[in-house]
Structure 1
Amino acid sequence: MASKNRITQLFNIDYPLIQAGMIWASGWKLASAVSNAGGLGIIGAGSMYPEILKEHIQKCKKATDKPFAVNVPMLYPEIDKIMAIIIEEGVEIVFTSAGNPKTWTKHLQENGIKVVHVVSSVKFAMKSEEAGVDAVVAEGFEAGGHNGRDETTTFTLIPMVKEKISIPLIAAGGIATGKGMLAAMVLGADAVQVGSRFVATPEASSHKNFKKMVVDAQEGDTVLTLKELAPVRLLKNKFYEDVQNLYLKSPSKEELIDLLGRARAKKGMFEGDLEEGELEIGQISGLIHEIKPAVKIVKEMISEFEQAKQEVARL
C-alpha cells in the first residue's frame, strides 16, 4: 500500500489505520507500537491525570520518531491543564470526543496541531466540519465504550456522513480486520480507526483478566446500556445484571448514577474485576480470538486489506 491518501498525507503515516484512544488500554506502549508499525497510535487521555498524561507523551516520544496523537474526551474535568500539556509537549495531532468541537479546535490549530473530532451522527459530522476540524471519525454503534444514542451502524453511518461532508472521513465501530477496513473505505472512508482489536495486545495497559474475557467473547456478549447517562457498550457480567435488575424498578437518573458509582471502568478494565467492573468493548470482540502484538495486527490487517482488494477485483 504505497499510494498516499488524504489521511496518510494529513498525518504523515504509512497506512490509513488508526488505533483508537481507549481509556485504561491505550498508553504510550500501545500508541508507540502502532505508530512504529506504520499506523497512527493514540494515547487515551480520558483515564489519566494531567501529570500522568505528560509522562506518557514523553515516553511515547522516546519510543517512536513517528507521528502519534492524543485523544481527549471533552467531558474531562481538568481539560485546560490537559490541553496546555499537549501544546507544551509538541503533540502534533489531537482527537477530541464527547463535546463541542468549537471549544478547542481553533486554539489547537493556532498552535500547529491537527484536530480530529469523533462523532456518531451526520448532524455532528457537519457541525464538526463547520467548526473547522481537519477530519472526523464517524463511529457506528457497534463500537465499544461510550456511544451514540441513535444506534446507527457503521455500515449506514459512513455513506451518510460521506454524502454531507468534504473533509477526510475516518470510519470506526466494528472494524478489526483488513476486509472490514476495505469495506469501510469502499463506503467512503479515507481511513479506519480500530479500538477493540488493539485491546487484545500485550502492549495494551488493560488488565490480563479483561483481555482474556475479550478474547473469549462470542457474538451477543456485548450490549449498549445506560442510555439515560451516556450510552455505553460493555460485556455482560454481574455489574450489567445489576443494571438490568435496577431497570426493572424504573429507576431515576440519580439511582443509576448511584449504582454506577465512581471508577467502575477502572475497576473492570484496569484492575481486572470482571464481576463489579464496567468492561467496555465492541461487538467485534466476537471475532477476536487471540492476544497478539500490535505490530502483527497492523501487518495482518494491511496484508488482508491488499488481498481483499484483489478478491473484490475478481467479483
Structure 2
Amino acid sequence: MQNKITELFGVQYPIVQAGMVWASGWRLASAVSNAGGLGLIGAGSMYPEVLREHIEKCQQATEFPFGVNVPLMYADVDKLMHIIVELNVKIVFTSAGNPKKYTSYLKEKGITVVQVVSSVKFALKAQEADVDAIVAEGFEAGGHNGRDETTTLTLIPAVKEKIHVPLIAAGGIATGRAMLAAMVLGADGVQVGSRFVASHEASSHDLFKQRVVDAGEGDTHLTLKELAPVRLLKNKFYQDIQKAYANGATNEELSELLGRARAKRGMFEGDMEEGELEIGQVSALIHEIKPAAEIVADMMEEFERAKAAVSNL
C-alpha cells in the first residue's frame, strides 16, 4: 500500500505505533517496524542515557525506519534531541509543546518532523512551524489529551479542511475498520496506541496489559483537566481524584494527590490501585494480548476486507 504516509516514512503500511510512556520501548518499536508499520520509541518516560540505549538496541533489532516521540513538556528535551541527532534517527514526533522550538533544528539535520495536536488551532500552528506531517488526536485517545473534547470523527475532517501537509488520525483506532473510517474522513494514515499496549513487546507491566484487555465500555474517563488532561482507567486512584473534586480540591491539592511517578507506578510497576493507568476508550474493543506483528497484520487484513465491503454498498 503506497500513499503520502508510506512514502514520507519509507514504510509498507500507513500505521504508526504511538510513542507511549512506559509502553513504547525498543522491543515494541522494532517489532512494529519489522512488521511494516512505523515504530516509535516513547522518550517521555526516559532519561537521556536510557533513550540512547533504546535507540541503539532498536537500530540493532530492525533495518527498517523507526522514530522517537518526544513530549516537549519535559526538562531534558535538549539532551534528548542531541542524542536523537547524534544517533542519526530520521523521524521525530513531537507533542505537548510548541513545535517551533525544535522543528527547524531537526529538519536542518535531515530529520522528518511530525507534531501531535488535538485541535484545528494547533494543527495550523504546527503547519506554520513547517512540520512534515500532523497527527490529529481525538478525545477518545488515552494518556494526555486535549481540553476541547473533540472526537476523532469530528476532528479529522475539520483539520483536513485547513492543512495541506499529510494527516495522521489518532484516538479510538485499534482495528482495520477504524483505520478505513479515518482515511475516508481524510486521514492519510493512522496512529495506534492502546492496541499496542496490549502486545507482548510493550514494556508496560503484564498486570496493566491484562487490565486493558478486561476493560469495558465506560471504564475510562478524561480527568485532571486543571493540570494536564489525561484519560485513565477507573481504579482507586481515579476514585480518589473524584472525591477530591467533590470536596472542592484546588489545583495545588490535585497536584499533591497526583504526586510524582504515579504513571510509572501503575503502567510500568503494576500497581493497579494506586497507579495512574492511561489508556483510550478503545480498550473496550481489545480482547487479547498479541504479538505486535500480528496486530499490524490483522489491521491490514481487516482494512482490506472492510474496503471491499464498503465498495459493495
TM-score over 0.5 (shorter chain): yes
Deviations 1:76-109 (A, max 9, x none): 1111100000000000000000000000000000
How many residues in Structure 1 have an aligned counterpart in Structure 2?
A: 313
Q: Secondary structure at the match of 2:92?
A: strand
Q: RMSD between aligned alpha carbons?
A: 0.4
> Which SS does the other structure have where 2:40 is aligned?
strand
Separation in structure 2 between the aligned mates of residue 78 and residue 158 of structure 1, nearest angstrom: 32
Are positions 1:166 and 2:145 aligned together? no
Report the secondary structure of 2:270's partner residue: coil
Counterpart CA distance in 1 for 2:245 and 2:164 is 42
Is 1:254 aligned to residue 252 of structure 2?
yes
**What corresponds to 2:24 in structure 1?**
26
Alignment map for 1:279-290 (pairs within 5 Å): 279-290=277-288
What aligned pairs does 1:124-273 form with structure 2 within 5 A after superposition? Answer: 124-273=122-271
> Residue type matched to 1:307 in 2?
R
Per-residue deviation at 1:295?
0.2
Q: Which runs of 5+ in 2 are unaligned?
A: none
The answer to whether 1:291 aligns with 2:289 is yes
TM-score w.r.t. structure 1 length? 0.99
What amino acid does structure 2 have at the position aligned with 1:52?
A: V
By how many angstroms is 1:153 displaced? 0.2
SS at match of 1:102: helix
SS class of match (2:101): coil
**2:103 paired residue among 97, 102, 105:** 105
Q: Tell me the CA shift for residue 249 of structure 1.
A: 1.4
1:301 alignment counterpart: 299
Name the CA distance, whole Å, in 2 between partners of 1:241 and 1:178.
Answer: 34
The amino acid that maps onto 2:227 is L
SS across alignment from 1:138: strand
The runs of at least 4 consecutive aligned structure 1 residues that moved more than 2 Å come to: none
Residue identity opposite 2:273 in structure 1? E
State the TM-score, normalized to the length of structure 2: 1.00
Distance 1:223 1:251 in 2: 18
Q: C-alpha distance in 1, partners of 2:221/2:205?
A: 21
| 2:99 counterpart SS class | coil
Measured in 1, the distance between the counterparts of 2:294 and 2:77 equals: 34
* Alignment partners' CA distance in 1, 2:275 and 2:58: 28
* Cα displacement (A) at 1:43: 0.1
Return the alpha-carbon distance in structure 2 between the equivalents of residues 252 and 281 of structure 1.
25
Task: Between 30-39 and 246-255, report the one with greater CA deviation.
Answer: 246-255
Q: 193-202 or 245-254, which moves further after superposition?
A: 245-254
Q: Distance in 1 between matches of 2:49 and 2:215?
A: 35
Structure 1: which amino acid aligns with 2:9?
A: F
Output the CA distance in 2 between the equivalents of 1:196 and 1:110.
33
